[in-house]
Every structure is written in C-alpha cells, then in structure tokens.
Amino acid sequence: MGNLDTNSLFLLVAILAPLVAGTVLLFGARFSQTTIRAVAAFGFGWPLIIGLLLYSLFEPSLVGEYNFELRLPTGLESIGIYLHLGLNGISMPLFLLAGTVGLAAGLYAMYSNADRPHLYLALLLFMLGGLMGTFASVDVFFFYFFHEFALIPTFLMIGMWGGAGRRGAAIEMTVYLTLGALLSLLGLIALYVQSGADSFSLVELRNYLSAQPLSETVQNNIFALLLFGFGILVSLFPFHSWAPKGYAVAPTGAAMLHAGVLKKFGLYGLLQIAGPLLPAGGEHWFSWIVWLALGNILFIGLVTMAQKDLKMMLGYSSVMHMGYAFLGLACFSVVGAGGALLLMVAHGLSVALLFMLSTCIYHRSQTFDLSAMGGLASRAPVLAACFVAGSMASIGLPGFGNFWGEFTIFAALAETELTRWIVVPAAIGIIISAIYGLRAVANIFFGQPKGDFADRLESGQITDLQGFEKLPAGILIAGLVLIGIFPRIFSDDANRELVEMYPQEQSNLPVIHSAVLPTQVDAHKEVTH
C-alpha cells in the first residue's frame, strides 16, 4: 500500500471540496449572488484541477496496485470497512470524467434561473462529491455508499425543480434504482462473504480470489446479482424505462451529472469487480448480456427514432448507446473492456453536452417539439455548431472520443467466432443513430421555421449562445476531441491494468492485442496535463 503523502490527501480533497462547498451553500439563503457563485466555483473547480494534477503524477508501473492510496479508519474495521481511496488505470479516466462534467454542469447551473439557487447548487455539489468518491474508492462498501449518496440529491432536484410529470418519473426512478441498488448490494456482500477476505478492499478480494477462486455455481449466482443490479442502474434493456422519463423532467445540471457520470457506476462495477473476480459467472451469463445489449441497441434505437420530443429523444439515445458498452464488456477481453471504458468516458461527455444544449434550445424556442422548430442556425450559429458536434460525437464520427470506443468494441467482437455474428446487428444501431441524430439537427437548425417559432426568429428575440453557455460547452467538446485525437491518454494505462485483470486463461474468449489499443508496458503517455 502506498504511503500517506500530499498526493493521497489531494485525492481526499477532491471529494471533500464539493461537499464542504455544498454544506456552506445550504446555509447561504442570505448570501449575495456573487458569493454563491464564488463558493460554488470553488466546489466545482477543485475536483477537475486535482484530477488533472493526479493524472500528470500517475505512475503507470503500479500495475495491479493503486496510485495515491489512502486508508483511514472508520470505526467499522471489525467488519473490514475502511475509507480506502486510490486510482488505477480503470478508475482514473472516470474520475476525470466526473470532474469534467461536474465543472461543466456547475458552470451552467451557476447562471441558471432556478429559484433558491443556493440550495440548487448545494445539491449539485453533493452529487459531485459522491461521484468523485465513487470512482476513487478501493473499498467496495464505500464504492456503493458514495453512489447512493450521489443518488439522493438527484431525487430531490427532480422533485423540486423538475418539469411536468416529475412526480411519476421520480417514483418510477425510485422503484427501479432502489431495486437495482438492492440487488447489487446483495451481490457485493455475497462476494465479500464467500471470498473469505478480511476487508471489502478490492485489492484483498482479488488476492483471495486469485488464490482460491469461488466455485462455478457461486460465481454464477453472484454474477447474476451484480449483472442485473448494476444493469438496472445503467438502464439495461428491458429495465430502462425510468431513464428517458427521468432525464426528460430532471433539471439540466442533474441530467448532465446523472446521464453523463452516475449511470457509469454499474458499467464500472461490472468492469472493475464482476468481470475480473467472477470469470466463470461472466461466461455463464454471456448470452444474456449479448441479447439484452442488442435490445438496447436495436429495440430502444427504434424507439428513439420515433420520438418527437428533443429531450425524450436524447434520453432514449443515452440508453441505446449503453448497449455498446455492454457488448464490449461481454467480450471479457482486453480490447473489449478497453473499448467499453473509452466509450463510457466519451459518452459521458457527449450526452452531458447534448442535455445542456437541449435546454439552451428550449430557452430560445420555448418548446422541445422537434416538429415545431426550424431555421435556428440562422440566428444561433454557435449553438448549431456545438449541437452538431455533440450529435456527430454521439453517432461515432471519427475525430471524437466515441469513435474509438465503438470502433474498438467492434474490433473485439470481430476477433472471435463466438462474437463475430454480433457485428452486423450492432452496426445497424450506428445507422439508426445517424438517422435520428441528423433528423434532429435538420429539424432544429435548418429548413423553414414554423408558427410561433418563425415569429420569434423574425422579431429578433432569439440570440446565440452566451458566455456562460459557451464555456461549459467548450470544455465538453474539448474533452471529446482530445480523446478522439489521442485515445492513448487513457488506453495505455487502462490496457496495463486490463491485461492483469483479464488473463487469457480466465475466459473462453481470447485476449486481443490490437493496434487500436496497444499494450506497451514501458510506453510513456503521449499527452500529459
């Protein structure tokens, strides 16, 4: 275990900064607008700053271990629970994703017109603190705890600032997410009990289970709990209906953080915990993962095409693209898992961008109805350019991070007879994405404006993106382009870890080493921050 040092404390500060700022704002009803924004900027800014600093200090030689480890007592040591923090090649990209989307969502929220802004920003900061803790946790108990902590503000924000229909959407979200959380908790507890480990630490669990793997039956049962528990939290088909409705009514900041980051919790759990520790269970449930993932891609893709409401379309689109990440995980190989990780990060950036821009569009058009818009590009060219960039990234256009995630997943699927047949139906999803994405762009920004929208355009009421909208959009687009040009800023470190986590003998699928995600143990990062 690494020694306690300044860098380890920085990791703790990245979690505490938004929590402290949020606590201050809870009692800030009488603060001036300037003070509220200053406190919020502190809470939203530090996680990303620290994330970039820790990325630049990340030591790639610690394969199978964690950088910046910090282990603090909790009073629950007798049952093996410590506040154990650290980052490895899998968690670092998602830690940075949380910081990036958190800053973008915070910057936009600071200038929103929400009533009780101190409370709105406080809840968003609590959500961010929970997200930073989720991906920094080495202890499985705190991994789960921080996720649940981040969920609470989500429900509160939907209830207080959500749109029409928020009550029904909040109830459905609560039912589904509670069920998913319960199943995943049972799976994690069962894993701890059956392993015989002395703590919930992922390091110790791996050491115990590598020495004495669980029986195939036990692995199958625990993997099922984790697959369906985490799957519900990720909106795996057919447990997906809560997500589009929830995102449609959620305030923008909450939608950005939940769809962009919090929903990656389940995929991350399958990638970091279930897949490596329960390989026999993964093989047993392989067919289920594939067919349910194709349900996300094809069935939900067709449902997405049928949407006429912009925000509902984006909600279903977000659910659809999770299917590709599940296909990558189903390969149980280095390239498949690495592609899923890249797609998780890129998808988080692109969906957060599109949800933010959909609200920008609404403020100018006063509607989410795609058929009621048209010609917006003439008055808001920067908004049009940003939305086109987000849509092209979501489709998987080369030059954006989503492309490398999807391309690598297809490469992994094509390498073996067992998964090669999946390539064709999965590729149909790309065509579906292009249809609804390009249609949305055409309906909103081009063609002839209609009805009241045409009157608003002619009267000059509609303006382009303002500074507080351009900055978060620019941050998210920059992240997508950076990963699109230099995917190895994440893939090199991830590959070193994945080679240890997914050895060939663990799976009936081969470990794949390709030019897309090269595994070079001694390679240096091409880009540092």
| Contact partners, residue 450, CB within 8 Å, separation at least 6 | 371, 372, 373, 374
CA distances from residue 93 to 11, 28, 98 in whole angstroms, order as listed = 14, 33, 9
Q: What is the pLDDT of residues 55-104, one digit of tens each?
A: 999 988 888 788 888 888 877 877 778 888 999 989 999 999 999 999 99
How confident is the prediction for the chain on average, in pLDDT? Answer: 86
* pLDDT 10s digits, 319-349: 999 999 999 998 888 888 899 999 999 999 9
pLDDT digits (tens, 9 = 90+) for 407-442: 999 998 988 888 888 999 999 999 999 999 999 999
Nearest CA-CA partner of 329 in 359, 296, 304: 296
Which of 15-19, 64-68, 295-299 bottoms out in mean pLDDT, i.e. has the lowest?
64-68
What are 436-495's pLDDT values in tens digits? 999 999 988 887 777 777 777 777 778 888 888 999 999 999 999 999 999 989 988 888
Contacts of 266 (CB under 8 A, 6+ apart): 180, 184, 229, 230, 231, 232, 233, 234, 236
pTM comes to 0.88
Question: How do residues 357-370 score in pLDDT, each as one tens digit?
Answer: 999 998 888 888 88
Token reading at 487: 């995917």
Would you state the pLDDT for residue 211? Answer: 79
Strand partners, 67: 87
